[in-house]
Structure 1
Amino acid sequence: MHLEGHLRIPIERVGRPLDYSEAGLMVPVVHVKTATALTELAPSDVQIIPADVEGQPDQYLVLVATRVIRCIDESASKVQLWKPEDGLPDMVGKYYAVDDLHIDTTQVGNAKVFRPEGWEVALIVSQDIKEALEALITTGANFEAVTS
């Protein structure tokens, strides 16, 4: 993705700024320290885009996962698909909901940051990325296991 200038992100909630937020839009916005760790540990998996966060003097960036991988383990996850009776013919057979997400790690290869194909609302990070972000005490980041 190529953009000129900085994105502008409004603040919708008052309080302490977070190191990781999805800005109310499922778009990761990260503090520069978080972005630095991610670009050092997974340089081919992420793109960062400068962003101005309203009222914040610190540098923030939009985090883009550059990989989308077909990896959802449908037998281990709770998957709901769109059906013809839902009235959206273009969506039939696609994921309507994925709860208790599990991935097939044999499909992931060397990816450290990615989104699962068909359910791009989830942002998946490897164990070493998780541990690095926890070591930085990254506020706002929540982790759930997606492997058995």
Structure 2
Amino acid sequence: MPLFEDGEGEGLPESERELFDTYRFKEGRVLEVERPIRLSMKPVGSALEFSEAMGTPIVHRRVVSLFERLGLQKEVQFIPVEVEGQTQPWFILNALRIIRCIDDARCEEVLYWLPEDNRPDKEGQYRNVAGLKVDVEKVGDAHVFRPWGWKVVLIVSEHVKSAMEAEGITGIKFLEV
């Protein structure tokens, strides 16, 4: 999932720049969105029920219904978005939990921001995580969350994965962590 650095979205109208602030959708908290978020679909084609816009999950109403049936309302917030050319309801999936669970020793590679990187605001934090592995003992009963320090990924439990596959949700891709 790509991270957008400061300055992304420059030159866009204010209404479109709002989504470029993707960090707010990775903070693990309920958000108040005052204006409708509008997205264009590129490339134009068949819409997938689970996709991403700048690393932010965009889901169809079927995903929302499935998560409601699974009782996950306290773990996620669904923020309505308008998708250009689509009449069906679409939503940003905002995970409300951040869990400190990365198992550094089992990951392929873990890099941290160092003093010589001249980023004191990030020093000691993850710079890159390859081959992500989590410590399941630290996950507890969570079904949808982002790992602390590497919030560019969304993790779901085996229960949610199986339910999404059984429901036939299009666009999903899972990697074992």
TM-score (norm 1): 0.93
Matching residue of 2:58: 29
State whether residues 115 and 123 of structure 1, in contact with CA within 8 Å, keep that contact through their aligned partners in structure 2. Answer: yes
Matching residue of 2:128: 97
Structure whose residues are more often helix by fraction: 2
- Is residue 2:102 matched to residue 1:66? no
Q: Which amino acid in the other structure matches residue 38 of structure 2?
A: R
State whether residues 6 and 49 of structure 1, in contact with CA within 8 Å, keep that contact through their aligned partners in structure 2. Answer: no
| Displacement after TM superposition at 1:5 (Å) | 5.1
| Displacement after TM superposition at 1:116 (Å) | 0.3
* In structure 1, C-alpha distance between the alignment counterparts of 2:147 and 2:170, rounded to whole Å: 24
| Displacement after TM superposition at 1:73 (Å) | 0.4
Secondary structure of 1:71 counterpart: coil
TM-score (norm 2): 0.78
* In structure 2, C-alpha distance between the alignment counterparts of 1:18 and 1:37, rounded to whole Å: 15
* In structure 1, C-alpha distance between the alignment counterparts of 2:154 and 2:68, rounded to whole Å: 15
Matching residue of 1:56: 86
* In structure 1, C-alpha distance between the alignment counterparts of 2:45 and 2:150, rounded to whole Å: 30
Percent identity, aligned pairs only, is 43
Residue 39 of structure 1 is aligned with which of 68, 73, 78?
A: 68
* In structure 2, C-alpha distance between the alignment counterparts of 1:12 and 1:81, rounded to whole Å: 34
* In structure 1, C-alpha distance between the alignment counterparts of 2:116 and 2:35, rounded to whole Å: 45
Computed over aligned residues only, the root mean square deviation of the Cα atoms, in angstroms, reads 1.2
Where does the alignment leave 5 or more consecutive residues of structure 1 unmatched? none
* In structure 2, C-alpha distance between the alignment counterparts of 1:39 and 1:51, rounded to whole Å: 18
| Displacement after TM superposition at 1:136 (Å) | 1.7
* In structure 2, C-alpha distance between the alignment counterparts of 1:31 and 1:124, rounded to whole Å: 18
What does the per-residue CA deviation read over 1:60-88, in whole Å, with 9 as the maximum and x for residues that have no partner?
11110000000000110121111112121
| Displacement after TM superposition at 1:36 (Å) | 1.4
* In structure 2, C-alpha distance between the alignment counterparts of 1:85 and 1:43, rounded to whole Å: 43
Secondary structure of 1:91 counterpart: coil
Secondary structure of 1:107 counterpart: helix
State whether residues 31 and 60 of structure 1, in contact with CA within 8 Å, keep that contact through their aligned partners in structure 2. Answer: yes
Q: Which amino acid in the other structure matches residue 32 of structure 1?
A: R
